[in-house]
Structure 1
Amino acid sequence: MSAMLQADFRKKTDYHTSKDGTPYNMEELTRALDEDSFDMLSTIGTRHSAVSNRGLVFPCNWWWNQDFLSSPQTRAQGPSSPSSSSSGSSSRLLSDLDLEDVQGQLFEFAMDQHGSRFLQQRISTADDLEKQMAFKELRPYLRELSTHVFGNYIVQKFLEYGTSEQLGVIVQSFRGRWNKLSLDLYGCRVVQKAAEVLPDIYKSVIVNELVGRMIECIMHQNGNHVVQRIITSVPQKLLNIIIKSLTGDMYMLSIHPFGCRVMQRLLENCSKEQMKVIFQEVLQHTESLLLNEYGNYVIQHVIEYGGGLDKSKVVAVLTGKICSLSQHKFASNVVEKSLTFGCDADKKTIIAEISHESALLKMMTNRYGNYVIQKAIDTAELRQKQALVLLIHPHLPLMRRYTYGKHIAYKVKSLLSRASLGQW
């Protein structure tokens, strides 16, 4: 082996140690590469590796970096010469391998970055016999794989492409552990995939197991993604279970950075009857929520997805305080949403309140209020739009002096130009 290749190999492997901290025998590894003997690498890997408690684990990623793996035929023939190795007779590209070629080493492949990618590709295209062989070998390690940085993708592939029998085995394997899995950085991805692709009968198993720990799950940085995916994937009869488990805690969830996301998903996906249950609790705290950095998003969803009566309840809270709320960082978003999705009567109420010169001047020069004015101009019916433009027009020179007024000045100037052509 050349000095350069030895140095490169040492650099790639000198940080690998055995379970008791003993470094790998570099002389053995170097000699193994000199002789091109992958049998010796296998022996060394089995003797020194602490990656798993079974089978063959190579002590370094060198073989992956070279994108080849010794074939069974090569092992049977024994060490080959460098010339035959370079010609490709002693190795095959991973792209040429099938699942049966790596049978007995699937767990090690699944725990490796490149091996996991290889298995994902093969499982998605394998026939039932190949999938059954792979599943049978990996079944004892489903729990371990599901929380591994690379292994979790293999479990996801079986959820997506597995047979009905295999899906049942996976669900049973995680019975009693769905909540713990939902809180894990990698396990939560497995639960999300399960919620997305499993038949409804299995989704109900997951929901019923999580329902007792739903609040904990929602308020967790990983678990909240699981609940969001469940809400967007399960039938509405299962949403009833989730909504019931959250009753009494919806205000607290609405002002939580993760909980507000779950509340938004609920409003996007639940039925009108289910919305009534949510609104009954949430709309008691409208004023507090619209001023909150997270709660304002929930109120915006009430306006966007709620019925006319629900929207009017929100606008009733805004009425009389439109000018001050429009200058608030969070509440101004709610005012804008009301102008976009509110009923015609509510829009007229809001625009009428800001169509006073004192209020208009404050809002036009405010970093948040100017957006409300722009939205009002865009959404007003013709007569109110004309009144607003004429009211703003005398103040255009002043608007151009303010950073936040320039946008309004440009919009009004454009409208006046069109109006001169009769194109309001």
Structure 2
Amino acid sequence: MDSSSLCNAACTRDGSQFIQNNIDLASPSDVSSVLRFTIGHILRLSCNSFGNFVIQKIFEYALPHEKSEMAWTLLKDVKTLCSSKFGTRVMQAILPHLEGYQISLILDQVIQDIVHFSTNEYTNHTMLRLIEKMVSLCPLEEPKFVHSVQKHLRDFIEDPDAMRIILKMVYCCSDELKSGLKDSLLCRIERDPSIVSSATAYILVVELYENGTERDKQRIFEMCRERIGKLASLKWGSHIVHSILQTGSKQEVAVILQNLNNKVRLRSLLSTKYGGVTVQKMLMLLDVPDLVQVFTILQNMKVSNSIPLEAAESLVLSIIKTTKEPSIVDISSGFLIGGREFPLSAEAGLGFFRVKRWMLSIFKGEKVELEVTEIPLFILCLTEIAVYKDNPGLGLLRQHLISFIEGIINQHNLKESRSKK
């Protein structure tokens, strides 16, 4: 069999499998013979759906000097090899075995066409592994590589595959180069704040905020601060707001809550799916009066009717059971002894006599007559009395209220998504 016949066979399913099976059983000299037949067609085979497996198998069993020969032949056209769906697999297979000078040769070709290598869906896989090799074997090549990326940031920020390259560099590169790259990225985003909420760049912004330096976090926060109301309602921008709420400093979280926790903003957030998720993230950070305000807005928007009847009844029973706790009984007795009105409860529409009726039922150990829609108001008045009496025993009721509002928002979002279908 001549080399053309062998290569043609390797490009078929059965022929490829037959050759691979025989290489597994072959002696080193037999493997060398197969290599001699295929070396002249190695690029064509590497880019073939079946032939690439044969090349990978030969490389696995080849002697060190033969592996070097195969690598040198393939490195003559890195772009063609890596741009192939199948060729990129071969490149990824040989990369771990290459020396530093060979990695440098690949990098020279990559840097000349950095945008293609970073944005192509197949070359991208090779690039991620190449960066790891560059950092470990060719640190002197890092500055050229990073600078080439900085020159084409606009192309990178707009492409999801290229964004993976930037994230890899942020993780792997030296601190000095990493700092320069992050500064270039943040400057680019500051010039065009809409990038923050794009489908490709938001994950980078979240990464820099959660794992960057204090200076990185401060710059991102300032970029988002003026647009926080809009970002909180967007599909991708809301992830950045959630990140600030979960990992930000107390001062930053307070600024976000102050900005979003008002009737106009809450109504706007609750009118969209992603804004609703943002409100859910806020719930654990809100105090009871603010939670009641959220519920009131849900009521006005007719959203509170979304919660299933069984879930609502179960919640009422849980609340009533909680009123048996000694700390809650102490709160009720404190109200009955004082007999004063409380401004937040009154502002929410709770009359003195309704509150008195609830407190009297709790004090006597009787079942509190409570409608589902009264739950937030009930917890609000207990909270206000507890604060006045310096009684801290309302953690469980507050958690009930949070779960209740979360359930309403979830059911509303589910209902809305079904109606759109």
Provide the TM-score with structure 2 as the length reference: 0.64
Q: In the alignment, is residue 54 of structure 1 matched against residue 11 of structure 2?
A: no
In the alignment, which residue of structure 1 is the partner of 2:280? 374
Q: In the alignment, is residue 186 of structure 1 matched against residue 83 of structure 2?
A: no
Q: In the alignment, is residue 318 of structure 1 matched against residue 218 of structure 2?
A: no
Q: In the alignment, is residue 230 of structure 1 matched against residue 133 of structure 2?
A: no
Q: Which amino acid aligns with 2:82?
A: S
In the alignment, which residue of structure 1 is the partner of 2:45? 145
Q: Which amino acid aligns with 2:122?
A: N
The answer to whether the 8 A contact 1:365-1:405 is kept is no
5+ residue gaps, structure 1:
1-45, 47-51, 56-104
Matches within 5 A, 1:229-268: 229-235=129-135, 237=139, 238-268=141-171
Deviation of the 1:363 alpha carbon: 0.8
Which whole-Å CA distance do the structure 1 matches of 2:196 and 2:305 have between them? 26
Deviation of the 1:307 alpha carbon: 1.8
Q: Which moved more, 1:224-233 or 1:117-126?
A: 117-126
The verdict on how the C-alpha distance between 1:166 and 1:285 changes in structure 2, with shifts beyond 3 A counting, is same
* 1:194-228 deviations in Å (ceiling 9; x for gaps): 33553444333322332212123223343333323
Larger RCO of the pair (alpha carbons < 8 Å, separation 6+): 2
The verdict on how the C-alpha distance between 1:420 and 1:349 changes in structure 2, with shifts beyond 3 A counting, is closer
Deviation of the 1:314 alpha carbon: 0.6
CA-based RMSD of the aligned residues comes to 3.5
In the alignment, which residue of structure 1 is the partner of 2:340? none
The answer to whether the 8 A contact 2:3-2:38 is kept is no
Deviation of the 1:276 alpha carbon: 0.9
The answer to whether the 8 A contact 1:119-1:154 is kept is yes
The answer to whether the 8 A contact 1:116-1:150 is kept is yes
- Per the alignment, in what secondary structure is the counterpart of residue 151 of structure 2? coil
In the alignment, which residue of structure 2 is the partner of 1:171? 71
Deviation of the 1:290 alpha carbon: 0.9
Q: Which amino acid aligns with 1:421?
A: L
Q: Which amino acid aligns with 2:235?
A: K
Which whole-Å CA distance do the structure 2 matches of 1:343 and 1:109 have between them? 64
The answer to whether the 8 A contact 2:56-2:90 is kept is yes
Which whole-Å CA distance do the structure 1 matches of 2:60 and 2:144 have between them? 25
In the alignment, which residue of structure 1 is the partner of 2:372? none
Deviation of the 1:168 alpha carbon: 0.8
In the alignment, which residue of structure 2 is the partner of 1:421? 396
Q: Which moved more, 1:396-405 or 1:332-341?
A: 396-405
Which whole-Å CA distance do the structure 1 matches of 2:18 and 2:120 have between them? 32
Q: Which moved more, 1:264-273 or 1:247-256?
A: 264-273
5+ residue gaps, structure 2:
323-393, 400-421
Q: Which moved more, 1:169-178 or 1:240-249?
A: 240-249
* 1:293-326 deviations in Å (ceiling 9; x for gaps): 3222332232233222202211111113211221
In the alignment, which residue of structure 2 is the partner of 1:275? 178
The verdict on how the C-alpha distance between 1:313 and 1:421 changes in structure 2, with shifts beyond 3 A counting, is same
Which whole-Å CA distance do the structure 1 matches of 2:50 and 2:133 have between them? 25
Higher helix share: 2
Decide which of 70, 95, 115 is 1:215's aligned counterpart: 115
- Per the alignment, in what secondary structure is the counterpart of residue 294 of structure 1? coil
The answer to whether the 8 A contact 2:9-2:16 is kept is yes
Which whole-Å CA distance do the structure 2 matches of 1:138 and 1:334 have between them? 52
The answer to whether the 8 A contact 1:159-1:198 is kept is no
The verdict on how the C-alpha distance between 1:132 and 1:253 changes in structure 2, with shifts beyond 3 A counting, is same
The answer to whether the 8 A contact 1:116-1:154 is kept is yes
The answer to whether the 8 A contact 2:170-2:182 is kept is no
Matches within 5 A, 1:18-417: 54-55=4-5, 105=6, 107-123=7-23, 128-235=28-135, 237=139, 238-286=141-189, 287-377=193-283, 380=285, 384=286, 388-398=290-300, 401=303
Which whole-Å CA distance do the structure 1 matches of 2:290 and 2:239 have between them? 20
Quick one: percent identity of the two aligned structures? 18
Q: Which amino acid aligns with 2:135?
A: P
Q: Which amino acid aligns with 1:226?
A: T
- Per the alignment, in what secondary structure is the counterpart of residue 329 of structure 1? coil
* 1:109-158 deviations in Å (ceiling 9; x for gaps): 42111232343455467564443333233222212211212111222334
- Per the alignment, in what secondary structure is the counterpart of residue 135 of structure 1? helix
Q: What is the total number of aligned residue pairs between the two structures?
A: 315
